[in-house]
C-alpha cells in the first residue's frame, strides 16, 4: 500500500539557490501491468469458483508472504524445521473453517510443536524462546487475518462481500499511491515510512469511499450506502495501519521490500500488508455490526 510523497517534497531540502527543473513525477507502470494480470484471476476465483478455490489461493499467496516474513525475521539463522511447522500451522489456520478445527486448540498445539522443535534440535539458548515466538507470530500475523477472508466467503452473499473487500482495499491502495505521487508534500509518519503523505491518505479515503459506493450499487446490495461509506473509511485507516506495521518490520530488518515476486509492488507481503488488517475489520463489521452471520 502506498501514500508516497511527490518527488519535489522529498527533495526540497537539497535544492540549491539556483532554481532547477522540477523532478518528473512518474508512476511505476509495472504496478499497472501486475494489476491487469491479477485482477481478472482474483475476480474469477472469488465469484465463479467454489469457496475452496479462494482458500487455496489464500494459502498459496499467504505461504509466500509468510516465507518472506520468516526471512526478514530469522535472517541468517533461518531454521527450516521451524519454518516448515510454521507453514503447516498457517495452512491449517487458513483452512480451519473447512476442516472444523478449533482455533485455540490449533494454536496451542502449534506452539507446543514449535517449542519442542527448538529443544530437540538444540537451538542456541539466546534464541530458544525467541525463535518459536517469531514462528508463531508469523501465523498470527498472516494466517489469522487471511482466515477471516475465508470466513467472509462463507457468509450469505459471501462471494460478493469478499469481492467488496478486495475492491475497496485495492482502490484505497491505488488511490493513495497515485495521489501521493502527484500531490504528496506533507509526510505522514516519516520515522516509519518516509514516503507516506497526508495527501496520499486523503486520496486513499476518497478512492475507497467511491469504490465502496459503486460496489454497493453494483453487486453488494446486502450492504447499505451508510455501510459503504463507513467501510470505505474503516478499511482505509486499518489498511494504513497494516502498511505502517509492515514498514516497521522492514525498517527493523533493514530492507526496502519484503521480496521481488510482484513487479512494481515488491514482495507478496508488501501486497498483502493492508489486507491483513482490512480483512478482520471487514469480517467483524459485516458479521456482527451488520449482523450477517447466518442463523443457527
pLDDT, position 27: 59
pLDDT, position 283: 97
Do residues 31 and 202 make contact, with C-beta atoms less than 8 angstroms apart?
Answer: no
- Give the residue with greater pLDDT, 7 vs 253: 253
| Mean pLDDT along residues 19-42 | 67
pLDDT in tens, 241-273: 999 999 999 999 888 888 888 776 689 999 999
pLDDT in tens, 89-143: 999 999 999 998 899 999 999 999 999 988 887 667 777 788 899 999 999 999 9
Closest CA to 277 of 233, 227, 237: 237
DSSP string of 221-277, one letter each residue: TTS-HHHHHHHHHHHHHHHHHHHHHHHHHHHHHT-S-S-SSBTTTBSHHHHHTTHHH
pLDDT, position 28: 62
Indicate the average pLDDT of the chain.
Answer: 87
| Mean pLDDT along residues 23-37 | 65
Give the number of other Cβ atoms within 10 Å of residue 32's Cβ. 12
pLDDT, position 119: 85
Evaluate if residue 287 carries a pLDDT over 50. Answer: yes
Do residues 235 and 169 make contact, with C-beta atoms less than 8 angstroms apart?
Answer: yes
pLDDT, position 20: 46
Q: Which residues pair with 189 in a beta bridge?
A: 193
pLDDT, position 260: 83
DSSP 199: H
pLDDT, position 259: 86
pLDDT in tens, 175-223: 999 899 899 888 999 889 888 899 999 999 999 999 999 999 999 999 9
Closest CA to 70 of 87, 56, 95, 88: 87
pLDDT in tens, 70-85: 999 988 777 889 999 9
Evaluate if residue 1 carries a pLDDT over 60. Answer: no
Evaluate if residue 236 carries a pLDDT over 50. Answer: yes
Amino acid at each position: 500500500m502506498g501514500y508516497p510523497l511527490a518527488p519535489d517534497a522529498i527533495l526540497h531540502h537539497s535544492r540549491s539557490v539556483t532554481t532547477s527543473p522540477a523532478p518528473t513525477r512518474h508512476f511505476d507502470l509495472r504496478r499497472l501491468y501486475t494489476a491487469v494480470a491479477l485482477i481478472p484471476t482474483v475476480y474469477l476465483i472469488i465469484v465463479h469458483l467454489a469457496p475452496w478455490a479462494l482458500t487455496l489461493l489464500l494459502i498459496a499467496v499467504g505461504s509466500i508472504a509468510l516465507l518472506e516474513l520468516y526471512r526478514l525475521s530469522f535472517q541468517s539463522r533461518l531454521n527450516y524445521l521451524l519454518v516448515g511447522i510454521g507453514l503447516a500451522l498457517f495452512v491449517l489456520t487458513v483452512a480451519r473453517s473447512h476442516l472444523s478445527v478449533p482455533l485455540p486448540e490449533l494454536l496451542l498445539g502449534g506452539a507446543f510443536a514449535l517449542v519442542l522443535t527448538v529443544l530437540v534440535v538444540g537451538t542456541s539458548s539466546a534464541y530458544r524462546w525467541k525463535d518459536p515466538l517469531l514462528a508463531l507470530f508469523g501465523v498470527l500475523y498472516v494466517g489469522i487475518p487471511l482466515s477471516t477472508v475465508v470466513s467472509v466467503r462463507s457468509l450469505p452473499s459471501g462471494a460478493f462481500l469478499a469481492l467488496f473487500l478486495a475492491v475497496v482495499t485495492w482502490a484505497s491502495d491505488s488511490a493513495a499511491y497515485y495521489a501521493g505521487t502527484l500531490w504528496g508534500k506533507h509526510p505522514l509518519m516519516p520515522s516509519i515510512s518516509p514516503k507516506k503523505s497526508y495527501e496520499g491518505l486523503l486520496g486513499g479515503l476518497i478512492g475507497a469511499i467511491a469504490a465502496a459506493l459503486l460496489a454497493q450499487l453494483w453487486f453488494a446490495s446486502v450492504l447499505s450506502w451508510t455501510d459503504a461509506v463507513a467501510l470505505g473509511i474503516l478499511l482505509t485507516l486499518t489498511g494504513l495501519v497494516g502498511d505502517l506495521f509492515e514498514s516497521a518490520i522492514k525498517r527493523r530488518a533493514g530492507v526496502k521490500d519484503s521480496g521481488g515476486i510482484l513487479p512494481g509492488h515488491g514482495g507478496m507481503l508488501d501486497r498483502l500488508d493492508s489486507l491483513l488488517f482490512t480483512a478482520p475489520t471487514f469480517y467483524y463489521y459485516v458479521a456482527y455490526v451488520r449482523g450477517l452471520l447466518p442463523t443457527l
